[in-house]
Structure 1
């Protein structure tokens, strides 16, 4: 596409940014999913700290508002993609609504069909945009079975930061940002009255290939419970997980399921008070990392080299299967692909290994 008279280049946008920061209106788009949304927060927090007068509007789905509320000073706008913003005409309506903000630039951190259509409309309005490079080719290479060449790729956080850099807003992801704990919800105060260490455990994942066997996870929970010095909080979502976690919690004195007990905002408030989170390669780990909580992740068919490890967590907190026994790992980026003979890779991670890492962190 050729440039219109209104269409500023990235270089010219970058050149004017420092002197016009207080007037600069930036739209950031990330509609879903929960883990990817949570990963935007540490990046946006550093963007706000670096450019404190920058005016940022975040476009996301209504459910994710509490996540973006962790970024000070941003305005959050809902994309009602199932109702008034459904389809191409709904997206046109949404684009016109956003145009009224007098945007200078758009950072598309999602890069899906909906956001591509929105970017086209913004181009028509003369608004410059930058978009995330998801690195699909290199991720495909990482999961290729033969020949196997495992190298760490850019993290999702780095890919987000690169979008802002292309708009003349470079940030340093290593900059320190203060993250405060939230008040403890009343339900938690009533259930957990003793001043003990809190261990969060999120045993589920979207795909079986990313989920530690529940029987082995119960071994971890049973041993932690038997020490009688921790409170163990179980996290998950949906009716099926709720039933399983309620049943699991009922077998132990110091274990409580959070599912169905709290609003999503209250759940985030609770997570902010954890001493450690144990999760799969899933959204709950990223939610905890938003608050600077130590996160121990258990990996199966996927691998942290794909760029989805929780923010600023040491590699010692990323527990991997036996790579000598399973040399073709990772076999999947999202855990949705199956390779014959690799169905039980997580069995090679022992409960003792997980328990030892929890003890070391605490």
Structure 2
């Protein structure tokens, strides 16, 4: 989800820079709402577990070809997208594929924390694909879309009091990228006590929903929205946030595509790998203590780390998180 969300600002700038170019996004139906605000953009649904499974990818490629496309931008560079791209290239259509910088990222991890430097952002890697096709874009020209309209249900959740709205997404794909819930509860307690904020908790899946319910219960200004909203409603709520507090995970990218300030907590991964949410400053990246844990980053996605690095997130104190939130919302 995060990878798809990161394409949104790039495609928005592409549409703005080249208003006569028609864009068709090929992806899973679930992601279609991401692209509703981009003009002159159509969506081609990929049923990768049904109709377009296996040799069905050729059918999908032909569906794309029948739309009259002139070029293919492969922003994913995985087996499925490679098959479609190569097939369409064979049919005479111009193609370009993202360079994910795998060798550079491997070197970043192999450095074991010594003399590491910033790699190209994923957003710029996407932009480079379009440049290969002859469409140069400047990501600094991005204009966030307007906030989505809130229906009665969401307005009821937010209430009428003039409070700043904070989203908190405390989960990540790997435990090593997740802030301990006991510390997150302390952050939430302090925010709740101030009575200045409405706080919404985001997550998904049965286990996460149950944990968020427990996190929500003691606090008057906190609402768990996991499992209670449609995906479109979640996006509308996110677009109206004043700040998102997220792990190195998809929700930060969802907020960033609407221009919402994002404070990201980093565990064994690192902003230098290129996955910082779009247009978010370095000062909003809160990292684990690299003096205590000098091997960070230990992996690109957080799935690998040495013994003793399981709880690196504990070195980011609730006080540091609260200070940053208050600075951003001043």
Distance in 2, matches of 1:269 and 1:222, equals 25
User: Could you tell me which residue of structure 2 aligns to residue 119 of structure 1?
Assistant: 85
TM-score, normalised to structure 1, is: 0.89
Counterpart CA distance in 2 for 1:215 and 1:55 is 48
Which residue of 20, 33, 37 corresponds with 2:4? 37
1:250 maps to which residue?
Answer: 217
How far did residue 123 of structure 1 move?
1.6
SS in structure 2 at match of 1:58: strand
- In the TM superposition, 1:262-341 aligns within 5 A as 262-341=229-308
**Residue 98 of structure 2: which of 120, 129, 132 is its match?**
132
C-alpha contact (below 8 Å) 2:112/2:297 kept by paired residues: no
Alpha-carbon displacement from aligned partner over 1:116-174 (angstroms, at most 9, x marks no partner)? 11112102211111000011111011111547331100000000000000000000010
Is 1:349–2:316 an aligned residue pair? yes
Alignment counterpart, residue 221 of structure 1, candidates 169, 188, 197? 188
Secondary structure at the aligned position of 1:57 is classed as strand
- CA displacement, residues 264-293 of structure 1 (integer Å, 9 cap, x when unaligned): 011000000000000000000000001111
Deviation at 1:185, TM superposition (A): 3.3
Q: Distance in 1 between matches of 2:274 and 2:144?
A: 24
Partner-residue secondary structure (3-state), 1:308: coil
2-structure distance, mates of 1:146, 1:356: 30
Which residue in 2 is equivalent to 1:177? 143
User: Is contact 1:185–1:269 with CA below 8 Å preserved after alignment?
Assistant: no
SS in 2 for 1:284: helix
Match for residue 162 of structure 2 among 192, 195, 199: 195
* Alpha-carbon separation, structure 1, partners of 2:105 and 2:179: 23
Q: Find 1:110's aligned residue among 28, 52, 76.
A: 76
What is the Cα-based RMSD across aligned positions, in Å?
A: 1.1
Equivalents in 1 of 2:308, 2:156: separation in Å? 47
Give the counterpart of 2:129 among 151, 154, 163.
163
**Higher gyration radius (CA):** 1
State the Cα distance separating 1:98 from its structure 2 match: 1.1
1:97: which partner in 2?
63
Select 2:171's aligned residue among 200, 204, 212: 204
Q: CA deviation at 1:103?
A: 1.4
1:42 aligned counterpart, secondary structure: helix
Report the Cα distance in structure 1 between the residues aligned to 2:35 and 2:157, rounded to whole angstroms: 28
Distance 1:242 1:146, change over 3 A: closer
Task: Tell me what 2:19 maps to.
Answer: 52
SS at match of 1:52: coil
CA distance in 2, matches of 1:48, 1:97: 22
Question: 1:85: which partner in 2?
Answer: 52
The whole-number CA distance in structure 2 between the counterparts of 1:185 and 1:305 is 39
1:15-45 Cα offsets, whole Å, 9 max, x none, are: xxxxxxxxxxxxxxxxxxx101000000000
Per-residue Cα deviation, 1:223-258 (whole angstroms, up to 9, x for no partner): 100111211000011111111111211111100001
1:176, distance to aligned residue in structure 2 (A): 3.9
Distance 1:170 1:358 in 2: 36
Q: TM-score, normalised by structure 2?
A: 0.97
Give the gaps of 5 or more residues in structure 2: none
Residue segments in structure 1 that go unaligned for 5+ positions in a row:
1-33
